[in-house]
Structure 1
Amino acid sequence: MTATPLSTPPQTPIGRIPVLDISPIVDGGARPTKSVVGETFLVEATVIREGHDAVSASVVLTDPDGTDHLTQMVCTNPGLNTWEAVVSADRTGLWTFRVEGWSDPFGTWEHDATVKIQADVDTALMLAEGAVLLDRAAETEDRTPAGRATLAAGAAALRDETRPPQVRLSAVTHGPVHEELTGTPVRDHVTPSTAYPLLVERQLALTGAWYEFFPRSEGALYDEESHTWRSGTLRTAAKRLHSVAGMGFDVIYLTPIHPIGQAAKKGPNNTLDAGPEDPGSPYAIGSADGGHDAIHPDLGTFDDFDFFVGEARRLGLEVAMDIALQCSPDHPWVTEHPEWFTTRADGTIAFAENPPKKYQDIYPLNFDNDPAGAYAEMRRMIQVWIDHGVTLFRVDNPHTKPVEFWQWLIQDVARDHPDIIWLSEAFTKPAMMRTLAKAGFQQSYTYYAWRNTKPDLEEYVTELATETAHYMRPSFWPTTHDILTPYMQFGGQAAWKLRAALAGTLVPTYGIYTGYELMEHVARPGAEEQIDNEKYQYRNRRWEDYEPGGEREGQSLAWYLRRLNEIRREHPALHWLRNVTFHHVDDENIMAFSKRRAVPADETTGVPAHDDVVIVIANLDPHSTRWSRVVFDMPALGLHPDEGFRAHDLITDQWWDFLREAMVHLGPDHEPVHIIELKRY
């Protein structure tokens, strides 16, 4: 019998200079790696070749116009052939990046010539070969005239037999010739990897401070005689924008502003016995007054909404809207498109449940019965709000909808509106949170609210800054309108300062829910959320009472949030995610970390190039004041281990002289957090 040869699957050519294990890529390059304009990130690869000749590598970023931008890589682990380079993109759009491996003839010659000439082996031959190589290098297409002149002088030096061989060699292996060939090398056998997608977005996609409020509460008034509330409006809510902007926030985020259904309407504290004057939950969207593309009549009209957006823009705020793809039983879609919902065996439409919780006032959408029709309607609805100036969307529970829908929607919107930013509110399992980020969400809610110990925080932030940083951007919220953890309920003012400070410095994007500055900490019995929850009723916080001369003057943390946001704006080190370093502290309740970023010279202001370094030291125990020793990783701060530095506390304006080891004193009797600007002597 004749043996049948085994068939082999087709293989991708490995290339003349193999380039392997490239990072950061997402799902093998099926989805784009993410960055923002100016954000630096590390590209790594394994690059090898046969024999002993020198090999090198470059990262090539290709901009949306097709222009290549090349950065030389450095071998950081010769034994494992690991090459890396830090790169960044200078404008938005869909870029690509690849790694090119190449043979380095100058590196090969430099090594061989140094060894042989020192041993006086083939000295004349090595010098001659070097001169020929420099002649060839001078003809490289991208060589400048000055570079050609430098290489010509080097070739002449190698051929100058009046000088000793070692001197001739040194003229090329050190000084201008070596620098020229390091900066613009001769690259033989260039072998490119696959080009991987790189999506570069505007900076707000990575860095920003969000402030959330319920428009109906801003300006809401209670009539003592009739025992009824009058809703706030978009116009009265606009009056609050000056204070929000004054605290330094970038985004004003509105909970749903649409008509609210009356069927199964929820009353105070999520009860089922709502009265006719109760407003209901704004997440029970839709009534005879309209659905997701309409505004609740109590709040005003689209003219009022346009006024609100205009005021926000005038004050430097962008407007984010809550998108909750769910309906009240009264929503027009229920009668017009019953196929967009799930019908049970008894003919009723299934309401939302998370056993044992029931949400009788909400019908979830079902995208499987008529995906084309449902997708098109969602896209039309989103466009309504974009046309009225909304630039960010906070999506409620996106993990309860098909991921492929979000991928389609976000991509379709981006074709005409690439600046739109989407925040995923998916408090769910890690795999789904990560997949939503890969599908297109620029930002993601996180588990930050429940990470309160040093080990938990350090482990979680390290994961976010390394494993997922190239596609998932975390947004830290100490509380939300749904979340009030025991830590916040019982931690006192120290906890509220601490959690805001950590949220605003550990990651570039954070947010607070209105009332945070008032430390609203009383929970509804049996639930980790505010009592008299604003989701189900109006709240007049009487902001005027906290202003100078008011009866509660000095009881607000608005000044602390303002200072925190000032620090964030003044220090570029806090604008990035991947640059966090944790430092040792003896006390298990005190955490220390730093962020460092190189800042180029500013010709306008005359500020020279420098490293911006911010150090945060926090006592995570809000109930006790603690002393402890901090041991700094000095190289991570850009310092020699024996150096000292001036430490400027940006909250209290205190100054200290710190060495590699320092003692700190933090707690409710003082400030719970040091936010320190490092100053060199």
Structure 2
Amino acid sequence: MKPIEGRRRVIVEGIQPQIDGGRYPAKRTVGDNVTVTAAIFSDGHDHVAARLLYSHASDTTWGTARFTELPNDMWAATFPVDRLGTWRFKIEAWVDHFDTWSSDLVKRLGAQPDPTNPSANAVPQDIPLALRIGANLLDAAGDRARGADAAQLKAAATDLCTLAEQNLPYYAGYPVSDEIISLADSYPDLRFAARSDRELEIWVDRERARYSNWYELFPRSAANVEGVHGTFKDVEKRLPAIAAMGFQIVYMPPIHPIGRSYRKGKNNSVSALDGDVGSPWAIGAAEGGHTALLPELGTFADFDLLVAAAQTHGMELALDVAFQCAPEHPWVKEHPDWFIIRPDGSIQYAENPPKKYQDIYPLNFESPDWRNLWEALYGVFKFWVDRGVRVFRVDNPHTKALPFWEWCLAEVRKSAPETLFLAEAFTRPHVMYSLAKGGYTQGYTYFTWRTGKAELEAYFTEINNAPVADFFRPNVWPNTPDILHAQFQVEDLAERRAIFQQRVILAATLSGNYGIYGPAYELLEGRPGPTMPGKSGSEEYLDSEKYQLRTWDFDAPYSIAPLITQLNAIRAAHPALQANANTRFHTVANDQLIVYSKSTAPELPSDQLGAKGQAALAAAAKADTILTVVNLDPKNTQSGIVNLWMPSLGLPWEDSFEVEDLLTGARYRWNGQYNYVSLNPALPAHVFRIVR
């Protein structure tokens, strides 16, 4: 079948960033420069030109940026995003007849016979004819232009015709000024331009989407008095200390009324005793459901004061949204068809065999009344957004319908585009990534279970680079209230302290977003809870806060709060650690040492002597570059020769340079790519700044 326009000769393909053929938007943050690449080519030797058209969804006009040619028919263009929300872009490409003519004319002029220096090899060039062709192209550009530009182009065309009529024996110099070339380039012939098949989208979040430090605490333990239930006011008293540690987001598990039926006792006992407080994730009681407060925590006035107090300390309050219900939740009585009814007429409780959660009813996303269910769940977010909350950690989103999240998160962002959503989804990669594509700002990762050097390098190479990095933002947690990894379950205090330090250093320097469940983390909580039937070990905590009140000794001499404070200060001072782009792993012949760098500048090109290489060197000299070395062995000193990939540090291969350890203040002179390191588990890392 013939195309509608067969004279459209340019092909545009392989456009990036593009998620699933444009089904989902790629992600960026305010202030980013979005680089768009594509393969753009045509038949023959005619030159091709292309431009990028971009706009915010609320704009009625499009900005433009010209594409720059890269090797192998690849092209790149960049545009800035300075507002929250959806941005659009598309590509327009055409055969550039004027640039083709201009390039050919340079060749013709260089090959014309010189009457003052005859050569038998010179090929006669019909320069006057070439000039007339150029005059026609400039005249056509003048027809497309307006006002003074049109007059200038028409005059240039006349000048070329006049020059052609002189029929000179030799033409010295190129006859068209740079100004005219630039002006002609501004009025391309787009009659047969090819255009990308569809507008592609970028979703732009605020900076906190890219860079955040999270601190999780249970408000009911905030009183820090044995047996006394904490309140929002107690949390407010803790805020100065949390802010002083450098955290930006304070995250609280569910703060709603807790069901009483089948309430869990201490250490996940199936039988609660009098006074047992139950699990905050068993949401709903006579006092209300997801838009009500646990009375023991305080009133809405207290909550509003807590939100404001967090902002006063430069932090934000994050709430846990867990879409599940205790048996007494109002929805169970009002909307029984939102749940799964078993053959005996009872409602299906949550199970993850062999685990049973009789205190929790999951929602049924195949309910005949799914539309009203969706609206009710969206209403939960809307309720808390209206109370000033802009950050949500969502519990187990992978157990809810994926189309629901795509709709719900978009609805929330219509009125509050600055809202951030963290997906607590330790699940299969495709599901985890689908949540990110569907609107989740950040996602938990497999970092907790990636303990060896090879698996750490492989995993962070995957998630810190395209295509995954275009839609998935990792949020790295060494621990959570649900997960006490076996590596932390060490009796020896020195060894346990080493592993806790090692893992938080890795988290803080490998990812722009990270968090800890504290105070358990800074106080080295490593006591495992009871082992479940059929399991060989436990990732539960002994005396878990999920089922009881806890008190903490914040003045304990073994606390690593000072190290965490130092790491957060380093992150705040160094933009290289506030993002995941330009992460490079380096080589060291010791599997117990891992070495990686982050920089605000891209890698140097292989040719550092050319003009582009010199410009890249100049940019690298102004960049922030951090080089981290971590000892993965919590028992022994480890050493080795580090083999650095110098271009990723913005340094020539043979350069001598200085590094400053931001953890100790020590400085070292390093020479070239090979350098010796040795790390004791007592402080298992160097976090080096490349000194410029």
TM bracket (short chain):
0.7 to 0.9
Map 1:324-403 onto structure 2 (within 5 A).
Answer: 324-369=322-367, 370-403=369-402
Partner residue, 2:69? 75
**What code does the residue aligned with 2:635 have?**
H
Query: After the TM superposition, which residues 619-630 of structure 1 pair with which residues of structure 2 at under 5 Å, given as runs?
Result: 619-630=631-642
Residue 110 of structure 2 corresponds to residue 118 of structure 1:
yes
What is the aligned partner in structure 1 of residue 605 from structure 2?
none
8 A contact 1:154–1:171 mirrored in 2: no
**Kindly tell me: are residues 14 and 434 of structure 1, through their superposed partners in 2, closer, same or farther at Cα, counting changes over 3 Å?**
farther
Task: Give, in whole Å, the separation in 1 of the partners of 2:160 and 2:684.
Answer: 67
- Take 1:525 and 1:159, find their aligned partners in 2: how far apart are those partners? 94
Structure 2 equivalent of residue 473 of structure 1? 473
Query: Structure 1, residues 81-113: CA drift from partner, whole Å, max 9, x if none?
Result: 222234431211211111222223344234322
Match of 2:101 among 101, 109, 129: 109
Looking at structure 1, the residues matched to 142 and 572 of structure 2 have their Cα atoms a distance apart, in angstroms, of: 47
Q: Is the 2:136–2:157 Cα contact (8 Å) retained in structure 1? A: no
In the alignment, what sits opposite 1:540? 551
Structure 1 partner of 2:297? 299
Which amino acid letter does the alignment assign opposite residue 401 of structure 1?
K
Match of 2:585 in 1: 582
State the SS of the aligned residue for 1:237: helix
Q: Deviations over 1:9-33 (max 9, x none)?
A: 9999995421112122122112212
Provide the rounded CA distance (Å) in 1 between the counterparts of 2:156 and 2:640.
Answer: 62
- Cα distance change of structure 1 residues 107 and 519 upon mapping to structure 2, 3 Å threshold: farther
Aligned residues: 646
* Counterpart code for 2:54: L
1:290-346, Cα deviation, whole Å (9 max, x unpaired): 211111111111111111111101101111100111111122222222111111111
1:241-260 counterparts in 2 under 5 A?
241-260=239-258
> Residue in 2 aligned with 1:642?
654
State whether residues 494 and 667 of structure 1, in contact with CA within 8 Å, keep that contact through their aligned partners in structure 2: no
SS of the residue 2:591 aligns to: coil
**Secondary structure at the counterpart of residue 60 of structure 1:** strand
Is 1:59 matched up with 2:70? no
Amino acid at match of 1:530: Y
* C-alpha spacing 1:287/1:157, structure 2 compared with 1 (3 Å): same
One-letter identity of the residue aligned with 1:321 = L
- In the alignment, which of 198, 202, 205 is matched to residue 202 of structure 2? 198
User: Residues 565-624 of structure 1: CA distance to partner in whole angstroms, max 9, x if unpaired?
Assistant: 22222222222223222222222332222222259xxxxxxx999222222222222322
- Are positions 1:519 and 2:524 aligned together? yes
Judge which range, 151-160 or 11-20, deviates more. Answer: 151-160
| Partners of 1:508 and 1:574 within 8 A in 2 | yes
Aligned to 1:95: 87
Range that drifts further, 231-240 or 630-639: 630-639
CA apart distance, 1:191: 2.3
TM-score by length of 1: 0.87
Q: Which residue of 1 aligns with 2:212?
A: 208
TM, length-normalised to structure 2: 0.86
RMSD value, Cα:
3.3
Q: Which runs of 5+ in 2 are unaligned?
A: 113-124, 532-537, 603-618
1:629 and 1:661 in contact (8 A); partners too = no
Say whether 1:443 aligns with 2:442: yes
Give distance in 2, aligned partners of 1:523 and 1:324.
25
Q: What is the CA distance between 1:375 and its match in structure 2?
A: 1.7
Matching residue of 2:691 = 679
Separation of aligned partners in 2, 1:649 and 1:178? 54
* 1-structure distance, mates of 2:457, 2:371: 44
Shift of 1:665: 2.5
5+ residue gaps, structure 1: 1-7, 223-228, 547-551, 600-606
Aligned match of 2:77 in 64, 85, 88? 85
Name the structure 2 match of 1:454: 453
- 1:411 maps to 410
SS of aligned partner of 1:641: coil
Aligned to 1:263: 261
Q: Residues 497 and 178 (structure 1 numbering): CA distance in 2 closer, same or farther, change over 3 Å?
A: farther
Aligned-partner Cα distance in 1 for 2:385–2:44? 59
Identity %: 39
CA contact (8 A) 1:631 1:660 kept: no
- Secondary structure at the aligned position of 2:497 is classed as helix
**CA distance in structure 2 between the aligned counterparts of 1:617 and 1:104, rounded to whole angstroms:** 51
- Is the 8 Å Cα contact of residues 46 and 96 (structure 2) preserved in structure 1? yes
Sort the Cα spacing of 1:452 and 1:134 in 2 relative to 1 into closer, same or farther, 3 A. farther
**Corresponding residue of 2:572:** 569
Q: CA deviation at 1:184?
A: 5.5
Instruction: Check if 1:489 corresponds to 2:492.
Output: no
